[in-house]
Chains A and B, each alone.
Chain A
Amino acid sequence: MIKVENLTFAYQAETVVKEINFELNAGKSLAIIGPSGCGKTTLLYLLAALQKPDSGAVTINGKNLTQIREKTGVILQDYGLFPWKTVYKNLTLGLKIRGYEKYKITKIVGQTLKDLKIEELANNYPAELSGGQKQRVAIGRALVLKPDLLLMDEPFSALDALTREKMQNLILKIHQQQKLSFVIVTHDIAEAVFLGQTIMVMQAGKVIKLIDNQYFGEEKLREKAEFFLLQKKLRQLMQFKTAGDLSYETK
């Protein structure tokens, strides 16, 4: 699905993504974890073609990524919903741009609102919603486009613990039902273990470790010992690699 080769990107003088290589097969998931400022968002923007690489390449389904892909859904760090559009209008936007017929838009958006249990919010503005509700709308806005790849940038970091777990379950369910590949950027270790089939540990623009997570997708994973063991391993790995960076260890 995704193939990334020697991907490098710099904002002016500061190189923030350095020689990154990895592959993600169709229907799989990848969690990218690392301290803030390590280049996670930038990497995701490169995968979304919101930024152009300075060197290296992103290939999706065998095609070199040069412009925004129709079938990539993107959920940005703080939702990116348009405050001047109602929930319903926010969801229709992507479809309208793609020239869908009106009755189709009504059908798809109606179904998505129902699936995400946000029907009664259709006529509300984003400012009237709770964090979890906004997050559902943001997911809905990406899903109406029937993406085969979903890119998410710390989508749940502003949510309380319980809501966050609910949203993680929702993403997992969608992934399993629709065979959707996804990449999730997070700084939450539990989230990386729960949602990453592969877990990529990043630091200072580089990939320092790729971990295969054999427990991914297991029912009630959160209640199992393996869940915590893998978290422990990940934590040790990140602490070891960031030795000397006290600010991160105390977080």
Chain B
Amino acid sequence: MKQSKFSTFYALVFVFFSWVILYFWLDSNIIASPLLVAVTFSKILVPELLPNLLFSIFRILSAVIISLVLGVSIGVLTGLYTRIDKYLAPLIYLLYPIPKIAFLPVFMLLFGLGNLSKVIILIAIIIFQIIVTTRDGVRNIDSKYFASARSLGMGSKDIYFQLVLPAILPGILTALRITVGTSIAVLFFAENFAVHYGIGYYIMNSWSMVNYPKMYCGIIAVSLLGYFLFKVIDFLEIKFCSWQKVN
């Protein structure tokens, strides 16, 4: 715990000094003064940043939760039953590499301009990672555990919840970490279309209004949002996957 607090502190110092160096070196108003940004940040955090952040968190969390439920289910089915995999795998392989963000206009046409299209495009991006990780995780479970489970008299429900899910959870959390970065980047882009709330919108709006201090405040808020989400994943890992650490 001490170690992690120290490394967070170190990361903050590192980012701060890089910023200060750039500020004096480039001497341009595109790099806003750290001090000014800090003052602005404390002023607008509650009235401006927080509402926008909450909108973004709501979009990301809904997308992540829906992707997890659907993606893990599909992944478990394809991992356990080769017959299902035979039909789904080609579909997944074809759709996975498509840059879904390019289809944002299509999604907006289909699902409206509001939250729904944003959440759906996030799901379209996150879910494939979850499906593939889950499927491969299920396949890598040693068959001795299935024999062990059946010898104890476990039925399919118990096998899913006592064996399959715990075994693949570490892999899923890793996949989540990777997708969190992607989701925020995608959301930043998607929030520039037809919405008036969301941290992505806030940053680009400040930019077009040439309010650089506010823009940086938005950027810091995004960084903190990511930090918060990563910490939540770390917490889940400590809580549910501590058995892995002892290996």
A residues bordering B, Cβ < 8 Å?
A: 45, 48, 50, 68, 70, 74, 76-78, 80-85, 93-94, 97-98, 125, 127-128, 141
A22→B166 CA distance, assembly (Å): 40
Given A83-B247, A84-B243; 8 other pairs, CB 8 A cutoff:
A48-B151, A50-B151, A80-B147, A80-B151, A84-B167, A94-B152, A94-B153, A125-B242
- A76 with B151: CB separation less than 8 A: yes
Interface check B229, CB cutoff 8 A: no
Q: Is A127 within 8 A of B243, CB to CB?
A: yes
A80 cross-chain contacts in B, Cβ below 8 A = 144-145, 147-148, 151
A158 CB to nearest chain B CB (Å): 14
Interface string of B22-39 (1 = CB under 8 A from A): 000000000000000000
List B contacts of A45 (CB < 8 A): 147
Check A76 against B243 for contact (C-beta < 8 Å). no
The 4 closest A-B pairs by CB, nearest first: A80-B148, A74-B151, A84-B166, A94-B152
Q: Are B162 and A93 in contact (CB under 8 A)?
A: yes
Shortest CB-to-CB span from B164 to chain A, Å, is 11
Number of A-B residue pairs having CB atoms within 8 Å of each other in the complex: 59
**27 pairs of residues in contact across A and B, judged by CB atoms under 8 Å:** A45-B147, A50-B147, A68-B150, A70-B153, A74-B148, A74-B151, A76-B144, A76-B148, A76-B151, A77-B144, A78-B144, A80-B145, A80-B147, A80-B151, A81-B148, A82-B145, A82-B162, A84-B167, A93-B162, A94-B152, A97-B152, A97-B154, A97-B158, A98-B153, A127-B243, A128-B246, A141-B152
B residues 139-181 near A (Cβ < 8 Å) are 144-145, 147-148, 150-155, 158, 162-163, 166-167, 169
Report B192-247 residues with CB < 8 Å from chain A CB: 241-244, 246-247
Chain A residue at smallest Cβ distance from B247: A127
Least Cβ distance of B98 to chain A in Å? 35
> Complex Cα distance A45/B151, Å?
9
Looking at A70, A78, A80, which has the most chain B CB atoms within 10 Å of its CB? A80
- Give the chain A neighbours of B155 by CB distance below 8 A: 97
Q: Which residues of B contact A (CB under 8 A)?
A: 144-145, 147-148, 150-155, 158, 162-163, 166-167, 169, 241-244, 246-247
Q: For the complex, give the distance between the alpha carbons of A77 and B169 in Å.
A: 26
Residue on A with the closest CB to B166?
A: A84
Please name all residues of chain B whose beta carbon is closer than 8 Å to the beta carbon of A82 when the two chains form the complex.
145, 148, 162-163, 166
Q: Across the interface, do A97 and B153 meet the contact criterion of CB distance under 8 Å?
A: yes
What residue of chain B has the Cβ atom nearest to residue A70's Cβ? B153
Chain A nearest CB: distance from B56 CB in Å?
Answer: 33
Residues of B within 8 A of A127 (CB): 243, 246-247
A156–B153 alpha-carbon span in the complex (Å)? 23
Enumerate chain B residues within 8 angstroms of A68, measured Cβ to Cβ. Answer: 150-151, 153
Bound-state CA distance A48–B246 (Å) is 32
Inside 8 A of B151's CB, which chain A residues have their CB?
A: 48, 50, 68, 74, 76, 80
Indicate if the CB atoms of B153 and A76 lie closer than 8 Å.
no
Q: Residue of B at shortest CB range from A68?
A: B153
In angstroms, Cα B154 to Cα A84, docked, is: 16
CB of B158 to closest CB in A, whole Å: 6
Query: Residue among B147, B150, B151, B167 with the most chain A CB within 10 A?
Result: B151
Complex-state Cα separation, A50 to B158, whole angstroms: 17
Which of B162, B167, B169: most chain A Cβ within 10 A?
Answer: B162
The residue of chain A having its C-beta at the shortest distance from the C-beta of B152 within the complex is A94
B247 to chain A, nearest CB (A): 5
Closest residue on chain B to residue A95 by CB atoms: B152
A93 touches B247 (CB 8 A): no
